[in-house]
């Protein structure tokens, strides 16, 4: 893999990732007349829960559903300038111009998976998916080393139903300076499990799923994908490496090599779940251990959709939004069986 660094017109960092380390990466300047980014998000603590809330009022003016010929994530071609100055790229990562986190509050980066505006991650080749994995890993390593960063979170939102405002295939990387609530809950649960049993919680969750089998969707030599016993979403799959590691940087070459085909298989099964045109909306989230004090939390990927039938969405209504009490309409064993049938 080759990394090539550049600067956008307003000073933000841009990194090109190319699979061939010997391939030349011609320099392409950003010719747009951009004003400096003026974003000052604030972290405020909710005293009633202890959660940290980000106030990012500047995001009200962010780009919202532009037409395809004005997409800011496509390469700069035919006289149209975008966030990617090059005329072509494989994978590109740059600082978000409308970040939720910046400065002392952290950092937000955009990950462009492909220059092709159409399609999605499921349409990538295994080699391109591997390059994205390498980019996630590189950003995890670099951002984790920054002062004040407590967790690096790589994720993808896909589909208008999720709230995506740019249709181009892309994800994001957040560097949090405060441990997010879900991570804090999992870390506490893992510590309690260790104190009660002497074992790691996530190793036990994986072992139980593999032993019971009715919630397993895919098995590989190094990874297993399964629906959790208490799934919150209608179709929710967790993908774990068999060897417990805290984050992406600790995966072996064999584990990295197997991941792309398994992950692409999962995404394509999600797209075959419902008899309706168009891709299935989803959120794909890498859960990694906090930089400090999170050794019990095991790396795993969580993939779920807000769609529960071809014409119904899972809305977070009174119980979920009000008191965070999830109610799932589909049994996890049924969801796993449906996903196995979608091979």
pLDDT of residue 166: 96
pLDDT of residue 293: 82
Q: Contact, 21 vs 134, CB < 8 A?
A: no
Number of domains in the chain: 2
CA 301 – CA 285 distance, rounded (Å): 6
**What's the pLDDT score for residue 295?**
83
Per the listing, tokens 């061939």 go with 20
> Please, are residues 134 and 93 in contact by the beta-carbon 8 Å criterion?
no
Task: Specify whether 117 is catalytic.
Answer: no
What is the Cα–Cα distance from 214 to 194, expressed in whole angstroms?
A: 26
- Which CATH number do you get for residue 310? 3.30.428.10
pLDDT of residue 60: 86
Whether 239 and 335 share a structural domain: yes
Q: Final residue of a domain: which of 151, 180, 209? A: 180
- Looking at the fold, whether 39 and 81 belong to one and the same domain comes out as yes
Query: Which pLDDT belongs to residue 296?
Result: 94
Distance CA 37, CA 104 (A): 15
- Catalytic, out of 170, 193, 238, 287: 170
Cβ atoms 66, 166 nearer than 8 A: yes
Q: Note whether 7 and 135 are same-domain residues.
A: yes
**Shared domain check, 223 and 125:** no
User: What's residue 172's pLDDT?
Assistant: 98
Long-range contacts of 37-45 (CB under 8 A, 24+ apart): 37/10, 37/11, 37/12, 37/95, 37/97, 37/99, 37/102, 39/98, 39/99, 39/102, 39/103, 40/102, 40/103, 41/99, 41/100, 41/101, 41/102, 41/103, 41/105, 42/105, 43/104, 43/105, 43/177, 43/178
Please give the backbone phi and psi of residue 94, each rounded to the nearest 5 degrees, phi first.
-145, 160
**pLDDT at site 294:** 78
- Its pTM stands at 0.97
Are 246 and 298 spatial neighbours (Cβ–Cβ below 8 Å)? yes
Query: What token pair was written down for 294?
Result: 């999170």
Same domain? 187 vs 302 = yes
List Cβ<8 Å contacts ≥24 apart for 310-319: 310/274, 310/275, 310/276, 311/276, 313/161, 314/233, 314/234
Q: Tell me what pLDDT residue 202 has.
A: 98
Q: Same structural domain for residues 189 and 174?
A: no
Q: Are 251 and 243 in contact (CB under 8 A)?
A: no
How many Cβ atoms from other residues are within 10 Å of residue 108's Cβ? 20
Specify whether 239 is located in the same domain as 168: no
Considering the domain architecture, whether residues 200 and 280 belong to the same structural domain is answered as yes
Residue 333, number of CB atoms within 10 A of its CB:
14
Whether residue 230 is found in the same domain as residue 153 = no
Cα gap 6→15, rounded to integer Å: 6
Same domain, 271 and 335: yes
Same domain for 135 and 245, yes or no, is: no
Same domain for 246 and 168, yes or no, is no
Domain region containing 33: 2-180
Give the Cα separation of 182 and 184 in Å (integer): 5
All residue ranges of the chain with pLDDT < 70 are none
Cβ partners under 8 Å of residue 6, min gap 6: 13, 14, 15, 16, 27, 28, 30, 85
What confidence score (pLDDT) does residue 232 get?
97
Q: Which of 180, 210, 240 is the last residue of a domain?
A: 180
Domain end call among 115, 148, 180:
180
């Amino acid at each position: 893999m080759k990394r090539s660094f550049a600067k956008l017109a307003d000073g933000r960092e841009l990194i090109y990732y190319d699979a061939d380390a010997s391939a030349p990466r011609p320099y392409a300047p950003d010719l747009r007349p951009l004003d400096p980014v003026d974003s000052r998000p604030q972290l405020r603590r909710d005293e009633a829960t202890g959660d940290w809330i980000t106030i990012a009022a500047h995001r009200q003016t962010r780009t919202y559903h532009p037409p395809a010929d004005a997409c800011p994530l496509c390469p700069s071609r035919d006289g149209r300038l975008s966030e990617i100055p090059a005329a072509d790229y494989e994978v590109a990562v740059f600082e978000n111009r409308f970040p939720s986190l910046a400065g002392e509050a952290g950092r937000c980066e955009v990950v462009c998976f492909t220059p092709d505006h159409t399609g999605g991650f499921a349409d990538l080749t295994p080699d391109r998916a591997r390059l994205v994995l390498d980019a996630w890993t590189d950003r995890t390593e670099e951002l984790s080393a920054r002062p004040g960063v407590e967790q690096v979170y790589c994720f993808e939102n896909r589909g208008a139903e999720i709230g995506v405002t740019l249709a181009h295939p892309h994800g994001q990387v957040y560097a949090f300076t405060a441990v997010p609530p879900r991570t804090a809950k999992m870390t506490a649960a893992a510590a309690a499990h260790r104190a009660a049993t002497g074992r790691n919680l996530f190793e036990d969750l994986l072992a139980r799923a593999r032993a019971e089998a009715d919630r397993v969707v895919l098995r590989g030599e190094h990874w297993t994908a399964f629906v959790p016993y208490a799934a919150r979403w209608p179709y929710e799959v967790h993908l774990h490496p068999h060897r417990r590691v805290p984050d992406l940087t600790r995966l072996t070459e064999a584990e990295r090599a197997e991941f792309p085909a398994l992950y692409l298989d999962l995404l394509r099964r999600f797209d075959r779940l419902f008899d309706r045109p168009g891709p299935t909306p989803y959120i794909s989230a890498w859960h990694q251990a906090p930089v400090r004090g999170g050794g019990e939390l095991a790396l795993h990927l969580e993939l779920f959709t807000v769609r529960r039938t071809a014409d119904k969405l899972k809305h977070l209504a009174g119980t979920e939004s009000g008191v965070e009490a999830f109610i799932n309409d589909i049994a996890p064993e049924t969801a796993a069986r449906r996903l196995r049938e979608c091979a």
